[in-house]
Amino acid sequence: NAGVTQTPKFQVLKTGQSMTLQCAQDMNHEYMSWYRQDPGMGLRLIHYSVGAGITDQGEVPNGYNVSRSTTEDFPLRLLSAAPSQTSVYFCASRRRTSGASTDTQYFGPGTRLTVL
């Protein structure tokens, strides 16, 4: 298994440009999430999905759009990039569990995005 993959690893955008960060997982996980990591602030949840066709907002959703048409893929779209979106972006996935148990959340390698 490749686990969670993200492309690209690095990206530089100009203000106002749009782009899509790709995320894919081959573990058949129901749950997928996008986080951003900024210095001194840890990771913050942008959007998440509990299954194909179902998405919801996290803590910092403004300026980002997501969709989940398949179990494997969960792309993150920046509609009009702003310098405040300069960050490292992580995709994560986890198997759905029930009861009192929880499963490990797997993270992708991250995408470093710079918006000029």
Partner 1 sequence: AQTVTQSQPEMSVQEAETVTLSCTYDTSENNYYLFWYKQPPSRQMILVIRQEAYKQQNATENRFSVNFQKAAKSFSLKISDSQLGDTAMYFCAFMKHVGSSNTGKLIFGQGTTLQVKP
Residues that bind partner 1 in the complex, under the rule CB under 8 A: 31, 33, 35, 40-45, 48, 50, 58-59, 88, 90, 92, 94, 96-100, 102, 104-105, 107, 109-110
Closest distance to partner 1 from the beta carbon of 112 (Å): 8
Closest CB to partner 1 among residues 7, 96: 96
Task: Read off the tokens for 106.
Answer: 């797997």
Closest CB to partner 1 among residues 65, 105: 105
Closest CB to partner 1 among residues 85, 93: 93
Task: Read off the tokens for 104.
Answer: 């490990």
- Would you give the distance in Å from CA 92 to the centre of its chain? 7
Residue 37 backbone class (left: φ over 0; alpha: ψ -120 to 50; beta: rest): beta
User: Residues with Cβ < 8 Å from 39, sequence gap 6 or more?
Assistant: none
